[in-house]
Structure 1
Amino acid sequence: MLHLNAYASNLDQAAKHRDGASLAHLLSLTGKHAQPLLDFLGRPDRGPAAADRTLANPNPSYAGQFKRSLNKDGPWADMATAHVWALVALNPPTNPMTGLPVGQQDAIVAYQKQHEVVTALYRWLIEARDLPTGWALPLLYVVCRDLRKVAEQADQQLLANNQKAGKLEEASRLLQKAFSCCLNDRHSDMLVSRKMGTYHLATLLFKTYFRLNSTALCRNIIRGIGAADLPPLSAFPRAHRVTYTYYMAVFAFLREDYADAEKRFVEALALTHHKMKRNIELILDYLIPLLLLRGVFPSRKLLAKSARHKTLYGPFADAIKSGNVAAYDRQLERAEKRLMERGTYLVVERAREGAVRGLLKKAWILESKPARMSIESFRRYHHAAQCVGLDEDVRLGRLKPSELEAAKKRVEVDAEEMECVLANMIYKGLVKGYISHAHQLVVLSKEKPFPWYGPYRNKGEAAAKARAERETAERQKMPELGAAAGQGAAA
């Protein structure tokens, strides 16, 4: 147990010594002090004061005790009172016999009290605008983080009671004030200035706006930072830089500015410590789909950073390399839920064009690289590839043999649809040439008719020779596809 007097004494000492880290631990809703303090409040020998352990007492005794014992030069008494009240609301007492909670958690009351904690600290920081208050940043970080979390819990409770949820939105306005409080600090010495907390509060706001689906509000944060007199980003703590760069990348991703997003994700990954596995996975959730969309295969070194991502995206990369559209579609179906959760499904679906390009190129290679190739020939190879994939499904037990013929008819495309596919590939620069609609032919470029996404770089004669050898090997590896296409032509 933690005696109330001991808790108040620890708070008072931390405030007198301007120990922001200790204050942050003592006023955190997840701090180690929480359960021992709650156990003390509920002790039977406290008599009527034992009611402090519940929300039944509108005037808890600890409020007066904090006012008497804590330093009057600061918001510490009000913050401590509201903090303990929030702890009580979030942690209902348990039955000593059964160990089960007695009563319900009240996240709404906890949110109201946590809002009071942040408001008291914010007002004190504003009043002390000319004093060096940078030491209080660890405390500001913790109470603002707890405010966002408990606001989400309060909204869930309101929704469960068929009420309108608006606590997180309300909390975002207070977080905006805390951000401005850091951004506009007048103290010139950056070592003791609240400006050093600007990027941490910015990322907390980003996270809140993303949850509220109000990403447009992120522009206000970015503009505010751009107009402020701040040190370069490199002068801030590494953790702040990584998180801010990550959220800026996510914001660019949501705007479909994929080039900027990829650049920022790469920067965030380079800054992230190799032991921070969770952070690396969050970055790779977006970075790998962006690489696939641009036609860049994730390196072995990159995939080695996360076994989960290797399992998830490895089959996509293999399908693009081999031009196996059927395999790509099967993996897309298996990974749909995971990709939808991260919001990257549409990007991975668009990257399917790489597999289609690979299939068209293999059809061209099997036909001995003609200058002109009929749309019907491309259609036959496309259908043959799909049928090979269905045969594999039958072998692996994913498809019943009795359903095979019906499945083959479903995946067959007509000439008009194939022409649309080819026109789309030409438009996007994945195939060089043009379509003669009257003759139903594709006239291919003499030089690199199947370029990759980026501009082609001449790597010399050795590379060209190695490429020719690979293409010859591809012809030998694909008798099944060529035979299937031939059967389609005979039919």
Structure 2
Amino acid sequence: WRMAFALEDLEQAATACDGRVLADRLGMVDLKDQSPKSFPDVSHLLPRAARWMGDATWGDMLAEYLETMQQIGKGDWAEAYKHISAGYLKLLSIFTTEEETSWLMPLVHQTTLDIRVIAGLADEADQSSGMQHLRDCSEKLSKGFSACWNDRTDIRSVESKRRGVVYLVNNCLKTYFRLGTLRLCKNLIKPLEMPMGGRPAMITSDFIPKSELVTYKFYVGRLNVLEDKYAEAEECLQYALANSPSHAMANKRKILTYLVPIKLCKGALPSQALLEKYNLVEFMALTKAVRSGNVRSFNDALLQFQELFIRQGTFLVLEKSKAIVHRNLIKHIDQVDPHKKPQQVNLVKVKEVFDWLGESLALDEIECIVANLIFRGLIRGYVSHSKRTLVLSKTNAFPFDKLKRWD
């Protein structure tokens, strides 16, 4: 667009309370691919900015936005962040102190995205900064959250600023995950998840855009994985996957990097077609090992991608899927041993197979593994310690006989 006409457009949009036009004209980052826009030289407009809307606060805010555009044009991300964050605070001041400003929500959302992306670019440009820009951004975003959440307008009204809070929360969650300050996530999630005044939790409201809810569920799901709340994590991630657009392959792949480990831990194995479709190479050998009960292959596959899994926070849940490997291995031994008694599995034989597969364990440790599988309901039967034997139930000794597959 041509900046020469932009100030007139901005004044017209502000007079008409059209927040979408303001967000489009003053946005620094493309909403779709989250990359910075290109801007012409706007230095000649700065004197006019101070008189914009005939109000010093609005004029100061616009001046910060124009200065941000100037610095983006120069590629100076630290200076760009300084100005966009200052503009954000001035915007929040207008948003919270002046009356009937809910129409500014599109600009609040846009600038929330802008400061987060520009903070990241500033930190990338200065590797020695220790992510100081993103840390500062985290504090600014919490002010944005408060600006929306503290609005007392009835949430059933379209004028309620609380209706726009999920977008703020999502940007905060992204920032907290990037910084590793996950303890702060609960401060944002709890208000959204709690019923209020006899009404359902806000996060269940039908006015929340599905795209925002998908992002929210993804991050809450990730947090639940890290807290070993696998049932809650699966529910959140399953929702995010089911409600992502069919063309959003990259986003679906991100969701699956956390959902697949939870499914594996439950014995629900992803199909080869699904793994290939989303290029989830790191799970191919693991899934095959779980299905076949091959302990050596499982250990090798886990070790091969160990750094990736640790970085993603899924290593521990994947380790827990080893119980399914053990269950399938014992089932295989039960099926192929021609000399065994009916409904009995010799634990000495099980130990020999474990040894052969490179997992040397004492017989007592084998007993402990089997007892744990029985306790978890993965095998039905009991252990005879005196005979070193697993005595299987006569019916359905290995529940969910065919492991569940999902596509």
Does the Cα contact within 8 Å between 2:309 and 2:315 map onto a contact in 1? yes
Conserved in 2, the CA contact under 8 Å of 1:183 and 1:195?
yes
Identity of paired residues, percent?
27
> 1:140 Cα deviation (Å)?
0.8
One-letter amino acid of the structure 1 residue matched with residue 146 of structure 2 = S
CA 450–33 in structure 1, closer or farther in 2 if over 3 Å, else same: closer
Q: What TM-score results when the alignment is normalised by the length of structure 1?
A: 0.71
* Residue of structure 2 in register with 1:221 after alignment: 188
Structure 1 residues 323 and 107: alpha-carbon distance in aligned structure 2, compared to 1, 3 A threshold: same
1:301-352 Cα distance to aligned partner (Å, 9 max, x none)? 8x2793313x443433332222222332333233334433422222222212
State how far apart, in whole Å, the 2-side matches of 1:445 and 1:34 are.
66
Partner of 1:9: 8
Counterpart for residue 404 of structure 1: none
Q: CA deviation at 1:200?
A: 1.1
Q: Quick one: structure 1 residues 300 and 16, their matched pair in 2 at CA, closer, same or farther if it must change by over 3 Å? A: farther
Which of 324, 327, 340 is matched with 1:354 structurally? 324
Deviations 1:127-176 (A, max 9, x none): 12x41x3322221111111112222334445552xx55433233222212
Structure 1 equivalent of residue 137 of structure 2 = 171
SS at match of 2:345: strand
Alpha-carbon distance in structure 1 between the residues aligned to 2:382 and 2:135: 53
2:235 corresponds to: 263
**Distance 1:304-1:434 versus aligned 2 partners, 3 A rule:** closer
Aligned pair 1:238/2:237, yes or no? no
Looking at structure 2, the residues matched to 447 and 231 of structure 1 have their Cα atoms a distance apart, in angstroms, of 45
Residues 1:114 and 1:228: Cα distance change in structure 2 (over 3 Å):
farther
Deviation at 1:374, TM superposition (A): 3.0
Distance 2:385 2:312 in 1: 41
Which residue among 190, 193, 211 is the counterpart of 2:157?
190
Query: Relative to structure 1, is the Cα distance of residues 417 and 123 closer, same or farther in structure 2, using a 3 angstrom cutoff?
Result: same
Bigger CA drift: 26-35 or 245-254?
26-35
Cα deviation digits, residues 48-89 of structure 1 (max 9, x gap): xxxx5xxxxxxxx64322123x21258442223212322333
CA distance in 2, matches of 1:65, 1:334: 60
What's the counterpart of residue 153 of structure 1? 121
The 1:221–1:424 alpha-carbon spacing in structure 2 relative to 1, beyond 3 Å, is same
Distance in 2, Cα, partners of 1:366 & 1:255: 39
What does residue 345 of structure 1 align with?
Answer: 315
Q: Which runs of 5+ in 2 are unaligned?
A: 403-407
Residue by residue over 1:180-235, the C-alpha shift from the partner in whole angstroms, topping out at 9 and shown as x without a partner, is 22223234463233222111111111112222222222222123232657584222
Distance 2:395 2:36 in 1: 72
> Is 185-194 or 233-242 further displaced after alignment?
185-194
Return the alpha-carbon distance in structure 2 between the equivalents of residues 306 and 22 of structure 1: 39
- Secondary structure of 2:54's aligned partner: coil
Q: Alpha-carbon deviations, 1:339-383, whole Å to 9, x = none?
A: 334222222222122122111111112225634433221122233
Following superposition, the deviation at residue 37 of structure 1 comes to: 1.7
Q: CA RMSD in A?
A: 3.0
Q: Which amino acid aligns with 2:26?
A: L
Please report how far the alpha carbon of residue 126 of structure 1 lies from its aligned counterpart in structure 2 after TM superposition.
0.8
Q: Aligned partners of 1:293, 1:281: CA distance in 2, in Å?
A: 19
Q: Which amino acid aligns with 1:37?
A: P
C-alpha separation in 2, matches of 1:81 and 1:382:
70
Q: Give the alignment partner of residue 307 of structure 1, picking from 278, 283, 288.
A: 278
C-alpha change, 1:273 and 1:84, in structure 2 (3 Å) is same
- Change in 2 beyond 3 A, CA 1:251/1:175: same
Is 1:82 the counterpart of 2:64 in the alignment? yes
Q: Is the 8 A contact 1:2 1:33 kept in 2?
A: no
CA–CA distance in structure 2, aligned partners of residues 282 and 322 of structure 1: 26
Q: Distance in 1 between matches of 2:183 and 2:332?
A: 44
Structure of larger gyration radius = 1
Residue equivalent to 1:37: 40
